[in-house]
Amino acid sequence: MLLDPRRVLILKDVIEATSISGAARVLGWTQPAVTHHIGALERSVGMPLLLRRSTGVTPTQAGKALLAHADAIASHLAAAEAELEEMRLCRSGTVRVAAFPSALATLIPHAMTRIHKDSGLHIRLTEAEPDEAMKLLHDDDVDVAIVFSYADTQLTDISESFDRLTIAMDPVALLLPPTHPLAHKQDLHLTDLADDAWVAGCPRCREHLVSMAHRAGFEPRIDHETDDYVVVQSLVSQGLAVSVLPMVALAAYRNEDVVVRDAPELTGRRIDALFRPGADRVPSIAAVLGALTNDAV
Amino acid sequence: MLLDPRRVLILKDVIEATSISGAARVLGWTQPAVTHHIGALERSVGMPLLLRRSTGVTPTQAGKALLAHADAIASHLAAAEAELEEMRLCRSGTVRVAAFPSALATLIPHAMTRIHKDSGLHIRLTEAEPDEAMKLLHDDDVDVAIVFSYADTQLTDISESFDRLTIAMDPVALLLPPTHPLAHKQDLHLTDLADDAWVAGCPRCREHLVSMAHRAGFEPRIDHETDDYVVVQSLVSQGLAVSVLPMVALAAYRNEDVVVRDAPELTGRRIDALFRPGADRVPSIAAVLGALTNDAV
DNA sequence: AAGCAGCATAAGAATAGTTTATAATACCAC
DNA sequence: GTGGTATTATAAACTATTCTTATGCTGCTT
């Protein structure tokens, strides 16, 4: 026996209408169409589900038993439809986002207030550096990974398997101690700091620093290493080193005892939202991506 | 939005197989067929339910939500199939039977032991005289009505709207007190009792008695009236009257102080099982009808 | 007794569904 | 990297299903 669920639902309509032709009217069909479906259903179960009178039909015991299940199925379908409609309109749903710390402190809060204003979406945040964020994305632990990348430093191969939406370009600035002799020099260049001690960030940021220095023509002496942008500024403010930090990190936290300068040799980083291919067609994820891109810092 | 339940179930197969082509293999279809169904389902809900990778698919949040309902629907369908199969094989199910008292005491118990031997059917009995039994049948309070009828006394019109299966012919016998002068007369005729006092049964039985007497050429003097066949025999045994009773009533209870005689003018009654048209195609009802007809007293 | 409302059936038309064939893409092993 | 094998998507043709139209029959109702 193999029940066709559509016919089970038609049976429900028929029993509720107490007649085949009544159900046909409800369904906007002709009577023979419904008769045919009921007949096929009865053939598949091997016994009558309805007793026919010229005044209409009454269900047999089997018909009543099937009706009970039909009711349950109908309400599951209705519930599913309602639930999906809520999701489609972003009145419910959860989007899981992984982001690196300074983005979490700046981009994300702005986007979230926007999202909460015009949707009922629930956002789950996870702090993760780009590599880890991509792993989370790959493992379906997260729907959106906010990552950064430097033009001269490729992201891991894995990033190629995702779709990408660029959220912002994040310029990088020089950090000098206020006591540094060149702190306020006009027309500052990177080479002016070729002999200074440097503090570098995460491996990728360190690589970027080295790469910029090479292009400027020197090998930076990296004495300290930390990916904590508060620590970086603290070290610089104490006069222990110079450094570079992206503006987003500076927007997240700014130590007033640090001098922030620009230099022509500095290249910035790009902040991307990564997502599984096609995920941007999911309304909730699209809403998050939209809120992120309209929200330049 | 209008979810096609079959496609919802296909989605379930796809998610469980973790790929569209895997589901196609399970279903014995080709991959484009399944792709088409999923596409139609997604179009109907207005958002992706699956994210496609070249290694297979993963459900979106909407897909997971729909999957949960699909599971529920699938198990309802499976439960319905199992339940109906039990009913088809008469391993479960209830048949409601109405019958007049003497049938309840004789025909029915025999049929029930037979039914219980080779099925799991549950029988619900209701005692009812023919007219009442037909009303119960009409109101769908009962599935089978066991009624009797005399050739000279039609049943109510309502009986025409039912299907009929004759269970047995039930001859009628004369009852005389042992002390009656004609109790052991050879070649007894109805007219021999034209001057006796009679006790009649139910209205229909009284009518039948009168009708038989008329045909024999006299008007019976009916002094007593009761449809209780124990009471009838008691009155007769005390010598207060003569009477007639069907053999089935005598099989149900036999007062040994009553003489049972035949007479050529006596006509019997027919015992029928009535049921709503088509109901004999319901396995459980067919089983009951079968047990009743194979079970002549 | 006629008219109305119900169900069943047959045959044709319209729609859905399925397959075959093909392409594009990603992953894996050599 | 390069071929082999997995995946999904799409188009086109074919098949099957499903719905309608047309008809007949039955029973109820006026």
Cβ–Cβ contact B277 with A under 8 A: yes
- The candidate with the shortest Cα–Cα distance to B258, out of B235, B229, B231, B237, is B237
- Computed over every residue of chain A, the mean pLDDT equals 92
Q: Virtual CA dihedral for B138, B140, B146, B149, nearest 10 degrees?
A: 0
- Nearest CA distance, A21 vs chain B (angstrom): 19
The reply to whether residue B6 touches residue A3, judged by beta carbons under 8 angstroms, is no
Q: Let me know how long chain B is.
A: 297
Q: What is the mean pLDDT of residues B289-294?
A: 89
- How long is the CA A49 to C1' C10 vector, in angstroms? 23
3-state secondary structure of B48: coil
What mean pLDDT, rounded, does chain B reach?
A: 92
B28 shares contact with chain A (CB less than 8 Å) = no
Residues 91-150, chain B: which have Cβ within 8 Å of A? 93-94, 140
Choice among A95-99, A293-297, B204-208, B257-261 with the minimum mean pLDDT: A293-297
Phi first, then psi, for residue B224 (nearest 5°) are -130, 155
Q: Nearest-CA neighbor of B47 among B64, B32, B33?
A: B64
Residue B202 banded pLDDT, cuts 50, 70, 90: confident
pLDDT band at B247 (very low <50, low <70, confident <90, very high): very high
Q: Is B278 on the interface with A (CB under 8 A)?
A: yes
pLDDT computed for residue B158 by the predictor: 64
Q: Does B263 touch chain A (CB under 8 A)?
A: no
CA dihedral B57, B60, B66, B67 (to 10 degrees): 40
Residues of chain A numbered 152-191 and touching chain B (CB < 8 Å): 161
CB-strand contact B154/D, under 7 Å:
no
pLDDT level of residue A157 (50, 70, 90 thresholds): low
Question: CA of A31 vs C1' of D23, distance in Å?
Answer: 14
Q: Among B80, B84, B140, whose Cβ lies nearest the Cβ of A58?
A: B140
Instruction: Give the containing element (helix H, strand E) for A246.
Output: strand A242-246
Exposed, middle or buried by CB within 10 Å (0-12, 13-18, 19+), for A100? Answer: buried
Q: What is the mean pLDDT of residues A273-284?
A: 94
Binary contact (B69, A79; C-beta < 8 A):
yes
> Phi-psi bin for A147: left (phi > 0), alpha (psi -120 to 50), beta?
beta
* Rg, Å, chain B Cα set: 32
Domains by residue range for chain A, with CATH: 5-88 (1.10.10.10), 94-169+271-293 (3.40.190.10), 172-267 (3.40.190.10)
Instruction: Look at B69 and A88 and tell me if their CB atoms are within 8 Å.
Output: no
Backbone angles phi, psi at B203, to 5 degrees: -50, -45
Nucleotide nearest to A24 (CA to C1'): D19
Give the CA A213 to C1' C19 distance in Å.
62
Q: What percent of chain B shows pLDDT beyond 90?
A: 85
Which of B41, B77, B88, B91 best tests the A interface by mutation, with the highest count of A CBs <10 A? Answer: B77
Strand D contacted by B263 CB (< 7 A): no
Q: At what angle do helices A283-293 and A61-88 cross, to 10 degrees?
A: 10
CA of A273 to C1' of C27 (A): 24
The pTM for the full model equals 0.90
Rg of chain A over Cα atoms, rounded to whole angstroms, equals: 32
Q: What is the pLDDT of residue A21?
A: 95
Residues 57-96 of A with CB under 8 A from B: 58, 60-62, 65-66, 69, 72-73, 76-77, 79-81, 83-85, 87-88, 93-94
In chain A, where does DSSP find H-type helix? 5-17, 20-27, 31-45, 61-88, 101-105, 107-117, 130-138, 203-216, 229-237, 247-252, 283-293
Q: For chain A, say whether B223 makes contact (Cβ under 8 Å).
A: no
As a whole number, mean pLDDT of residues A2-8 equals 96
Asked if B5 lies within 8 A of A73 by C-beta distance, the reply is yes
Assess whether pLDDT exceeds 50 at residue A169.
yes
Instruction: Provide the pLDDT for residue B297.
Output: 44
Q: Are the CB atoms for A199 and A228 separated by under 8 Å?
A: no
The confidence score (pLDDT) of residue A297 equals 44
Does A80 contact B62 at a Cβ distance shorter than 8 Å? no
Who wins on pLDDT, A222 or B156? A222
Confidence band of B156 (pLDDT split at 50, 70, 90)? low
Nucleotide nearest B34, from its CA to each C1'? C18
Q: Residue B150 pairs with which residues in a beta bridge?
A: B153, B269
Question: pLDDT tens digits for A126-141?
Answer: 999 998 999 899 889 9
What number is the average pLDDT over the span A56-83?
97
Give the tens place of pLDDT for each residue, B63-96: 999 999 999 999 999 999 999 999 999 999 999 9
pLDDT at B296 over 70: no
